[in-house]
């Protein structure tokens, strides 16, 4: 009975208007709530500052790319993106490089203190950056790394290494152990097995972990701002600094904001099914 009615209803409804249901209304309203603020940012990025302050408009009257031109040609702006990308990439590579073997160890072996260590990693992911801001500042100043990309990249490993270990462990435990054993019997050494056989098997996991390391390092402000002054200043810090300065150019600020959304927006489609998993540390 159930099966027959299921087969026939869509066919019968095909030529009628789609039924408006409460859940569609809720969904559309929620998506509008999500998108309108982003639209507003994008809208203002296409306006001149005079037009923005001149009167309230729902869309740009004379769309212009001047704000983007300012950012892409003025070194004090675009250097921020270069700095951010530099330390974010360094951090992502470093985090993954150390997290891969560790995650393998956690997913395959029991060893002395493994649970304590795994828990301790979690506490670092959960630790408030505000607690670490001052000691980091002093630590990196004393070793002469203040205002370098390395300092920020190392500081962000505080939460990104635990994140990568937890996510990768979540993916690795899904790979049956028989594969490891077969490979060892076939005479593979551990490094060769790990790179040739194991890493391709968890390629999607590595991708997801890389994406989340990239993202969390990209969106962080407090530590990257505390640890940099001029040479390694990230875009986020440059944006907040212009806010506090007088004579603020809203159009340029919005254009800078839109450009920071681009990296996430570009890859979001590929990771859409893993977003919950990544935020929940590979446990959903």
Which residues between 64 and 83 bind another protein (CB under 8 A)?
Answer: none
Among 152, 213, 232, 236, binds another protein (CB under 8 A): 236
User: CB-based burial of residue 231 (10 Å sphere; 0-12 exposed, 13-18 middle, 19+ buried)?
Assistant: exposed
| Cβ neighbours, 10 Å, residue 159 | 22
Among 72, 127, 179, 203, binds another protein (CB under 8 A): 127
Nearest-angstrom CA–CA distance, 116 and 101: 18
In whole angstroms, the minimum distance from the beta carbon of 279 to another protein comes to 6
In whole angstroms, the minimum distance from the beta carbon of 260 to another protein comes to 5
In whole angstroms, the minimum distance from the beta carbon of 90 to another protein comes to 13
Measure CA of the first residue to CA of the last residue in the chain; give whole Å: 35
253 binds another protein (CB under 8 A): yes
220 binds another protein (CB under 8 A): yes
23 binds another protein (CB under 8 A): yes
In whole angstroms, the minimum distance from the beta carbon of 79 to another protein comes to 17
Cα-based torsion angle of the residue sequence 256, 260, 266, 269 in order, rounded to the nearest 10 degrees: -120
Which residues, 129 to 188, sit near another protein by CB under 8 A?
129-139, 154-155, 157-158, 161-162, 165, 173, 177
CA angle 31, 37, 38 (to 5 degrees): 85
Nearest-angstrom CA–CA distance, 241 and 147: 16
Site string for another protein, 184-213 (x = CB under 8 A): ------------------------------
How big is the site for another protein, counted in residues (CB under 8 A)? 98
Among 93, 195, 219, 229, binds another protein (CB under 8 A): 219
Nearest-angstrom CA–CA distance, 209 and 171: 10
Spatial CB neighbours of 253, under 8 Å, sequence gap ≥ 6? 239, 242, 243
Region binding another protein by CB under 8 A among candidate stretches 9-17, 64-72, 75-83, 98-106: 98-106
């Amino acid at each position: 009975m159930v099966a027959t009615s299921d087969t026939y209803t869509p066919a019968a409804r095909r030529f009628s208007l789609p039924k408006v249901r409460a859940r569609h209304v809720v969904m559309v309203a929620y998506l509008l709530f999500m998108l309108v603020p982003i639209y507003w940012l994008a809208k203002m990025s296409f306006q001149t500052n005079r037009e923005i302050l001149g009167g309230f408009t729902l869309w740009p009257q004379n769309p212009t790319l001047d704000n983007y031109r300012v950012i892409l040609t003025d070194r004090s702006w675009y250097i921020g993106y270069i700095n951010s990308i530099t330390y974010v990439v360094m951090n992502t590579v470093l985090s993954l490089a150390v997290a891969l073997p560790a995650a393998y160890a956690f997913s395959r072996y029991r060893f002395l203190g493994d649970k304590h260590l795994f828990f301790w990693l979690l506490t670092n992911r959960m630790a408030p950056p505000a607690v670490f801001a001052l000691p980091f500042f002093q630590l990196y100043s004393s070793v002469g790394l203040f205002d370098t990309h390395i300092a920020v990249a190392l500081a962000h490993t505080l939460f990104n290494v635990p994140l990568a270990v937890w996510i990768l462990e979540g993916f690795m435990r899904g790979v049956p152990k028989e594969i490891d054993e077969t490979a060892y019997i076939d005479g593979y050494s551990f490094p060769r097995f790990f790179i040739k056989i194991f890493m391709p098997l968890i390629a999607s996991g590595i991708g997801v972990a890389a994406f989340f390391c990239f993202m969390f390092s990209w969106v962080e402000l407090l530590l990257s701002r505390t640890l940099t002054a001029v040479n390694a200043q990230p875009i986020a810090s440059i944006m907040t600094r212009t806010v506090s300065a007088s004579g603020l150019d809203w159009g340029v600020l919005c254009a800078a904001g839109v450009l920071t959304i681009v990296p996430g927006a570009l890859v979001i489609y590929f990771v859409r099914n893993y977003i919950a998993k990544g935020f929940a540390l590979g446990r959903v």
